Amino acid sequence: MEIKKIEKNTPEKKFSTGAIQVTVWKNVGSKDGKSHEYKTFSFTRRYQDKTGQWKSSSSLRINDLPRAVVALNKAYEYAILRAQEGVDGEAI
């Protein structure tokens, strides 16, 4: 029996604007028997609850939207520039 090592996917890059954070993840997949890399993006909003504990949410308030747009644009710009420079094996 072959045992495959499971590697933890760590963030490639993070962009923060206040409480909003966008994380760029590098992934490896296979299609038609060929390995390829691709990126995924996640965002979170950090906040403190009534007890002072820090929490995360993917829900945004209206005042979070401009910050989310800035962080998402930075993540998009980062990914596009890396792809155009040929740094990643991902096509645009």
In the prediction, which pLDDT does 52 show? 95
56-79 burial, b if ≥16 CB within 10 A, otherwise e?
A: eeeeeeeebeebbebbbebbeebb
CA-based angle 27:77:38, to the nearest 5? 15
Say what the pLDDT of residue 9 is.
Answer: 80
pLDDT digits (tens, 9 = 90+) for 19-52: 999 999 998 888 888 888 889 999 999 999 999 9
Q: Are 75 and 41 spatial neighbours (Cβ–Cβ below 8 Å)? A: yes
pTM for this model (two decimals): 0.77
Instruction: For the chain, give every domain's residue range.
Output: 11-84
If pLDDT is split at 50, 70 and 90, which confidence band does 54 have?
Answer: very high
Sequence length of the chain is: 92
